[in-house]
A and B are shown apart, each in its own frame.
Chain A
């Protein structure tokens, strides 16, 4: 069943998507589903393990469930320091 998910893109994902965030109607059970189904938006073929995800401003796992109304933050591979 379709859920309304707000997706936020960062760094190269944002540049690729052309927007900071957008709300999508998506049939996704997990954060990983969101990432896979939005490949044409963030443009990444990085393995999931190289990227990170947060849900509603809490760090999450790719297996974390997503619920209607959640905000999912998609992080490319980090490079601090």
Chain B
């Protein structure tokens, strides 16, 4: 019996960008990038850490506007494929409440050689952070919470609270 030489894609072909509310497993996701022409894989994982700007962080809550996060993420990955000689690139981002140490975002790139994989992976995570409609709210050990990058987002009191 002849064994078919087709089978470098053990998982179904996946969407290049996904927003999920379950744990990210990079060891499963990276298999989506297997390719007989690939000699390199670069992956990036963004993890939840326990401190930000002097505040002790207990957990992080992500809010994602999925329709536009997906369409903008598809553009970012298309740009990476146009700029770098890569084979495959995927990105998965979490939504919802995450605990310290959990993986919030994963980017994986496969290519013939390592430079392109590293460079494309860096490009994708950098663009994802500044372009996709995703927000995170830090929940601090002292019981307070705050939206990241939003120092001037709420300088007015809420109208219903103005006179309190």
Interface residues of A (CB under 8 A from B): 10-13, 15-16, 18, 39-46, 50, 52, 54, 57, 59, 73, 75-81
Contacts and interface: CB of A to CB of B under 8 A. Distances in A.
A46 B158 CA distance: 16
Contact of B130 (A11, A39, A73, A78): A78
A81 B153 contact: no
A57 B66 CA distance: 11
Interface of B: 46, 62-65, 67-69, 71-72, 93, 104-105, 125, 128-137, 147-150, 152-160
Given A12-B153, A46-B153, A75-B133, A81 B46 contact: yes
Contact of A79 (B68, B148, B160): B148
A73 B128 CA distance: 19
Contacts, number: 102
A76 B155 contact: no
Given A18-B160, A76-B147, A78-B135, A12 B154 contact: yes
Task: Report, nearest first, the 7 A-B pairs whose CB atoms are least far apart.
Answer: A80-B134, A11-B135, A81-B129, A79-B148, A77-B149, A12-B147, A43-B156
B137 A45 contact: no
Given A76-B135, A76-B147, A79-B147, A43 B68 contact: no
A58 to B, nearest CB: 8
A80 B105 contact: yes
B152 A78 contact: no
Contact of B153 (A44, A52, A57): A44
11 contacts: A11-B63, A12-B150, A18-B160, A43-B157, A46-B152, A46-B153, A77-B153, A78-B132, A78-B149, A80-B62, A81-B125
